[in-house]
C-alpha cells in the first residue's frame, strides 16, 4: 500500500489514464447536498486562495496497467472523482474561451484514442454510463432524472449564480487536495474486500445493498464482474430500483435463514449465512434476481394474477410489510405450483399479522406445498 498527497487534477490528469468504476461498486449517489457542499468549498478556496482537502481516493491498478493505458480501479472516492468531472463538464460548457475548453477536454475528460473503452477517461458503472457519456460528449441524455444529469444542471446553476468568472473557478480546482492510496493488491481480492468493509466503518456509511453487491460481484476478472452485473444485479436494480434493494436484501435473508435480521446486521448475517452453506456467488445472484421479481409484485402491487394482486393491495393497506418475507416465501415456492391457493394464505396471514413471521416461514417450509 502506498499513500501520496497530491492535487485532484494531477491525479485525474496526465497521459494514458483510464479510471474504472468496477461493477462491484455502488452507482453514483451524490445528491444536491453533497454537490452544493463541494461547490461551496471551491468558492471558499477561490476567495481565500487556500487549499481544501477533498478526501482519500483508494484504488488498485487494473489488468492493463503497463500496456496501452494505465487502468486505475477505484475502490473508494469514486463519488468525489465523478463529481469533479461533472463540475469540469459544467465549467467547460459555460466557458467561452476556446483554448480553456480544449484544455479541459484533453487533460481531464478524454483520452486521445479511438478505442471506445478508453476514449472517455472515467468508465462508469453500466447503470450510470449512458448519462455520464451524455454530459461528456454534450449529447441529449436518455434519462434526465438521474443523479448525474441532475447534478450537472445544479452545478451549472450554481456557477451562473455565484458572480465569479467560470475560468476563475476552473483555476481554483487545482487547490483541491487528496491523498491517493494505491493498494497494490491487483490479484488479492480478499484484501480488496476487507479494505472495502473497513472503509465502510470509517467513512460515509454504505448501504447493505452496496456491501452485498461488492461481495457478490468482486471476482478476479473484470469481464466476469461485468457479466455477473449485467446478467443479475442490473436486473435487480431495474426491477426494484436502487433505493429498495437494501430492504429487499433484509427480507430475502429472513426468508433464507428463518431468523429476525436487525437493520444494522443485514450484510453481516447475509455474508455469514452464505459462507456457512458454501453457496456460489452466481447461484446467490440468480436466486436473488428471481426473488426480486416476486418482491416487486408485493412492493409495487404488480402481480400479473389479478386475484393475488387484489390480496396484495389489501395487505399493503393493512401495513403488513413486516411479513413481506413470508409473502415472498409463499410466492417463490407456490406461484408456479399452487397459485390458486395463494390468495387464501395471504388473507389468513395478513389478518393475523401478530404471528411471528419467522415462525410462520419455518412452519410453511415443512408443509407439502413447499416440499413438492
Whether residue 180 lies inside any domain: the answer is yes
Beta carbons within 8 Å of 278's beta carbon, 6+ residues apart: none
Strands (DSSP E) along 12-51, which ranges? 17-20
Q: What is the dihedral of CA 28, 32, 36, 37, to 10 degrees?
A: -70
| Structural domain includes residue 328 | yes
- Residue 290: domain span: 229-371
pTM of the predicted protein model: 0.77
Give the pLDDT confidence of 108-150 residue by residue, as tens digits: 999 988 788 889 999 998 889 999 999 999 999 888 888 999 9
Within a domain: 221: no
As a whole number of angstroms, the distance between CA 149 and CA 203 comes to 25
| Domain assignment present for 213 | no
The three-state secondary structure class of 206 is coil
pLDDT in tens, the chain (372 residues): 788 999 999 999 977 889 999 888 889 999 999 999 999 999 999 999 899 999 889 888 887 665 567 889 898 899 999 999 999 999 999 999 999 999 999 999 999 887 888 899 999 988 899 999 999 999 998 888 889 999 999 999 999 999 999 999 999 999 999 999 888 776 576 777 777 676 654 445 788 999 999 999 988 777 888 899 999 999 999 999 988 999 999 999 999 998 889 989 999 999 999 999 999 999 999 999 999 999 999 999 999 999 899 888 888 887 878 889 988 998 998 898 888 888 877 666 554 444 456 666 665 566 555 554
Integer CA distances (angstroms), 272 to 275, 276, 326, 343, in order: 5, 6, 21, 34
What is the Cβ-side half-sphere exposure of residue 287, based on CA atoms within 13 angstroms?
16
Nearest to 80 by CA among 41, 49, 131, 23: 41
Residue 236 and residue 181 share a domain: no
Q: Is residue 219 part of a domain?
A: no
CA distance 325 to 214: 23
Residue 180, phi-psi category: left (phi > 0), alpha (psi -120 to 50), beta (remainder):
beta
Q: Are 198 and 298 found together in one domain?
A: no
Q: Is the dihedral of CA 251, 253, 259, 260 positive or negative?
A: negative
Question: What is the helix (H) or strand (E) element at residue 18, kind and residue range?
Answer: strand 17-20
Q: Which of 174, 206, 238 is the last residue of a domain?
A: 206
Cell of 356: 411471528
List of residues 6+ apart from 152 with CB closer than 8 A: 86, 89, 90, 135
Amino acid at each position: 500500500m502506498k499513500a501520496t498527497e497530491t492535487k485532484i487534477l494531477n491525479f485525474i490528469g496526465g497521459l494514458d489514464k483510464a479510471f474504472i468504476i468496477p461493477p462491484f461498486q455502488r452507482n453514483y449517489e451524490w445528491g444536491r447536498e453533497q454537490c452544493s457542499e463541494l461547490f461551496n468549498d471551491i468558492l471558499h478556496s477561490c476567495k481565500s486562495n487556500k487549499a481544501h482537502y477533498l478526501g482519500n481516493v483508494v484504488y488498485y491498478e487494473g489488468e492493463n496497467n503497463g500496456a496501452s493505458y494505465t487502468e486505475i480501479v477505484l475502490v473508494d472516492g469514486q463519488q468525489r472523482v465523478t463529481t469533479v468531472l461533472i463540475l469540469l463538464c459544467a465549467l467547460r460548457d459555460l466557458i467561452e474561451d476556446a483554448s480553456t475548453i480544449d484544455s479541459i477536454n484533453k487533460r481531464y475528460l478524454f483520452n486521445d484514442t479511438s478505442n471506445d473503452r478508453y476514449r472517455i477517461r472515467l468508465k462508469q458503472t453500466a447503470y450510470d454510463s449512458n448519462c455520464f457519456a451524455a454530459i461528456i460528449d454534450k449529447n441529449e441524455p436518455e434519462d434526465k432524472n438521474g443523479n448525474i444529469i441532475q447534478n450537472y444542471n445544479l452545478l451549472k446553476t450554481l456557477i451562473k449564480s455565484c458572480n465569479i468568472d467560470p475560468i476563475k473557478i476552473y483555476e481554483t480546482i487545482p487547490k483541491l487536495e487528496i491523498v491517493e492510496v494505491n493498494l497494490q493488491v491487483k490479484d488479492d481480492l480478499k484484501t480488496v474486500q476487507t479494505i472495502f468493509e473497513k472503509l465502510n466503518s470509517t467513512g460515509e456509511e454504505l448501504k447493505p445493498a452496496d456491501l452485498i453487491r461488492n461481495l457478490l460481484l468482486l471476482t478476479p476478472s473484470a469481464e466476469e464482474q461485468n457479466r455477473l452485473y449485467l446478467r443479475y444485479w442490473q436486473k435487480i436494480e431495474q426491477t426494484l430500483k436502487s433505493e429498495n434493494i437494501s430492504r429487499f436484501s433484509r427480507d430475502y435473508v429472513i426468508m433464507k435463514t428463518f431468523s429476525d435480521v436487525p437493520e444494522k446486521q443485514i450484510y453481516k448475517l447475509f455474508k455469514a449465512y452464505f459462507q456457512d452453506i458454501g453457496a456460489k456467488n452466481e447461484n446467490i445472484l440468480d436466486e436473488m434476481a428471481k426473488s426480486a421479481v416476486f418482491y416487486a409484485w408485493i412492493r409495487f402491487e404488480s402481480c400479473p394474477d389479478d386475484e393475488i394482486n387484489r390480496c396484495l393491495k389489501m395487505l399493503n393497506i393493512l401495513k403488513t410489510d413486516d411479513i413481506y418475507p413470508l409473502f415472498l416465501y409463499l410466492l417463490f415456492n407456490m406461484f408456479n405450483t399452487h397459485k390458486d391457493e395463494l390468495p387464501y394464505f395471504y388473507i389468513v396471514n395478513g389478518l393475523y399479522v401478530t404471528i411471528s413471521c419467522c415462525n410462520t416461514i419455518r412452519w410453511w417450509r415443512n408443509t407439502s406445498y413447499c416440499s413438492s
